[in-house]
Amino acid sequence: QVQLVESGGGLVQPGESLRLNCTASGSIFTINTMGWYRQAPGKQRELVATITKRGSTNYADSVKGRFTISRDNAKNTVYLQMNSLNPEDTAVYHCNAGVREATSSLRYLEVWGQGTLVTVSS
């Protein structure tokens, strides 16, 4: 099995920054694309940013120029640096990864973390 564990959420004021971390553990052969998604109260889950194994990134228009996604392949970890936060960024942030399990079949899994709450409020 493979698990994703997020950390780094919290309560901040508008204009402040936070960094989210997400680490994968378990029976991992390789991790392909990793990403962050968020779900605000009463809204559907939406893409925030993704990053491929080679480092190619993709961002939602609403976070371009403010958020930066990065990863450390040796640590099976993806990060999300969030700057200039505003109340519209308030949501539960979920980590996602496409993982090849270290089994004879190299089964492909799409794994989600439990989420970490980010609240931006004055």
Residue 105 is predicted with a pLDDT of 84
Q: What is the pLDDT of residues 83-108, one digit of tens each?
A: 999 999 999 999 999 999 998 888 99
Q: What is the pLDDT of residues 46-72, one digit of tens each?
A: 999 999 999 999 999 999 999 999 999
Can you say whether the dihedral through the CA atoms of 34, 69, 60, 120 is positive or negative?
A: positive
Residue 57 is predicted with a pLDDT of 98
Percent of the chain with pLDDT over 70: 100
Q: How many Cα neighbours within 13 Å face the side chain of 105?
A: 3
Judge contact between 20 and 116, C-beta under 8 A: yes
